[in-house]
Amino acid sequence: MFYGEFEHSLDNKGRIIIPSKFRTAMKDNYIEKFFVTRGLDTCLFMFTESEWQQQENKFKTMSFTKKQSRQFNRLFFSGAVDLVTDKQGRILIPKYLTDYALIKKDIRIVGVSNRIEIWAKEKWEEFYNNTMGSFEDIAENLMELD
Residue 123 has pLDDT above 90, yes or no: yes
Q: What does the pLDDT look like over 9-36, one tens digit per residue?
A: 999 999 999 999 999 999 999 999 999 9
Q: What does the pLDDT look like over 62-111, one tens digit per residue?
A: 888 999 999 999 999 999 999 999 999 999 999 999 999 999 999 999 99
pTM: 0.91
pLDDT grade for 139, boundaries at 50, 70 and 90: confident
Nearest 5°: the CA angle 142, 100, 92 is 105
What strand order describes the sheet that includes 81-84? 2-9, 106-113, 115-120, 44-48, 33-38, 81-84
> Which domains are present in the chain?
2-121 (3.40.1550.20)
